[in-house]
Chains A and B, each alone.
Chain A
Amino acid sequence: KHSEDSTIMKARLKGAQTGRNLLKKKADALSMRFRQILRKIIETKTKMGEVMREAAFSLAEAKFAAGDFSTTIIQNVNKAQVKVRAKKDNVAGVTLPVFEHYQEGGDSYELTGLARGGEQLSRLKRNYARAVELLVELASLQTSFVTLDEAIKITNRRVNAIEHVIIPRIDRTLTYIITELDEREREEFYRLKKIQEKKKQLRARTELEIAERLAKLGPIAEPVNMLTEEADEDLLFE
């Protein structure tokens, strides 16, 4: 029974090692993507800084041309024309949320009767629309980043658990089983030897006894023929 157990344990050990190796590969793949995303975030944030500067500049220009329209804009908010949708991306089995921007409805500021500065205003809108696109992309990178961060931490925790808890445990059990098996084998062997010893001694003693008895009976060492015997010994009433 114990030899079966050792087979089972060996299989479990193999399983745990395979599991650990797979998880390590997953952690590596995730880390690589993580670093890629980090680089892209830094790159995009820098670009975003430039885009925002340009947009802010065009705002100043538009104000110069059209007067201060901020209040009008702020007080005429109604429905958003630009929204985002969350979509799913996947890397090494981890689902990453990403944003996709889309248009909905027309330009609600079309009717802002700003007679002056129409061109600057158009440029302003375009600049901020572009900024929004870039920012949506940045937001996607960020959400992926945060999600990957968590996923990597969890995966590494699992690798450590397998390496420092599960595998040693299986190892110890396996060692115990094998030691037991060895011990049993030795005990069996010892027992068999003891039995053989005893048998030999018994045989030797028996042979000795037979030899002594034969010697006592004298030189006649032939078996008695029942048919030639004259008087039957009365066995019962002697």
Chain B
Amino acid sequence: MAGRGKLIAVIGDEDTCTGFLLGGIGELNKNRKPNFLVVEKDTSITEIEETFKSFLARNDIGIILINQFIAEMIRHAIDAHMQSIPAVLEIPSKEHPYDASKDSILRRAKDEFESVV
């Protein structure tokens, strides 16, 4: 049973967004609202957090890709997201390679693991 198609959203630096947009995931909805946010040096944490929350609230986004270094800025908002959809995936950026110990999901898994084992 397949549901209606959902979008892949991106919150990342310019290079990350450009790359994924070229990959074909970018879309503007009816209200010309994009499913991505280009985070620059002067982008405020509030803006990032609000965009993240607005993506969560939309029902047409299935996956949110976010550079890990940006995820760190709004770690509390990401940890608070307990539902399985949309899935929040932390990805590396050019300057910040992927660090498994910071990943929300893996940290949860580690706690699980340790309480089960």
Identity of the chain A residue whose Cβ is nearest the Cβ of B95 in the assembled complex? A56
Bound CA span A60–B62, Å: 29
Closest approach, in angstroms, between the C-beta of B97 and any C-beta of chain A?
7
Look across to chain B and name the residue whose beta carbon is closest to the beta carbon of A153.
Answer: B112
The answer to whether B28 touches A78, judged by C-beta atoms less than 8 angstroms apart, is yes
Q: Which of A123-131, A176-184, A187-195, A220-228 contacts B (4 or more CB under 8 A)?
A: A123-131
Q: Which of A34, A83, A107, A138 contacts B7 (CB 8 A)?
A: A83
Q: How far is the CA of A153 from the CA of B7 in the complex (A)?
A: 30
Contact with B along A78-117 (1 / 0, CB 8 A): 1111111111100000000101101110011100000000
Tell me the residues in window 48-64 of chain A with beta carbons closer than 8 Å to chain B beta carbons.
Answer: 48-49, 52-53, 55-56, 59-60
B5, B15, B93, B98: which contacts A84 (Cβ < 8 A)? B5
CA distance A144 to B24 in the complex (A): 25
Are B19 and A55 interface neighbours, CB within 8 A? yes
Contact check, A129 vs B24: say whether CB atoms are below 8 A apart.
yes
Q: A interface, by DSSP: helix, strand, loop or mixed?
A: helix
Interface residues in B6-62 by Cβ distance below 8 A to A read 6-8, 14-15, 17-28, 34-36, 38, 62
From B2, B89, B92, contact of A87 by CB (8 A): B2
Contact B27 A79 (CB under 8 A): yes
B26-A77 in contact (CB<8A): yes
Q: Is the CB of B112 within 8 A of A149?
A: yes
Separation in Å of the B100 CB from the closest CB of chain A? Answer: 7
Known interface pairs A41-B109, A42-B100, A82-B8. Does A132 touch B3 (Cβ–Cβ under 8 Å)? Answer: no
Chain B residues within 8 Å of chain A by Cβ, number: 51
Choose from B14, B24, B98 the contact partner of A82 (Cβ within 8 Å).
B24
**Inside 8 A of B71's CB, which chain A residues have their CB?**
none
Asked if A77 meets B27 with Cβ closer than 8 Å, knowing A53-B92, A136-B63, the reply is yes
Task: Evaluate contact between A74 and B17: CB separation under 8 angstroms.
Answer: yes
Contact A86 B105 (CB under 8 A): no
A96 to B109, CA, bound (A): 17
Q: Are A124 and B24 in contact (CB under 8 A)?
A: no
Given A45-B98, A52-B92, are A86 and B85 also a contact pair (CB < 8 Å)?
Answer: yes
The smallest beta-carbon distance between B103 and chain A, in angstroms, is: 7
In the complex, which of the residues B62, B82, B100 has the most CB atoms of chain A within 10 Å of its own CB atom? B62
Residues B63 and A139 in contact, CB atoms below 8 Å apart: yes
B107 contacts partner chain A, Cβ-Cβ < 8 Å:
no
> Contacts of B84 on A, CB cut-off 8 Å?
97, 142-144, 146-147
Decide if B108 is an interface residue (CB 8 Å cutoff). yes
A80–B85 touching, CB < 8 Å: no
- State whether A107 and B24 are in contact (beta carbons under 8 Å apart), knowing that A41-B109, A52-B92, A139-B62 are contacts in the complex: yes
Jot down 7 A-B pairs with beta carbons below 8 A, ordered by A. A59-B15, A77-B26, A82-B8, A99-B87, A132-B20, A132-B24, A135-B65
Residues in chain B within 8 A of chain A (CB atoms):
1-8, 14-15, 17-28, 34-36, 38, 62-63, 65, 82-85, 87-89, 91-94, 97-98, 100, 103, 105-106, 108-109, 112-113, 116
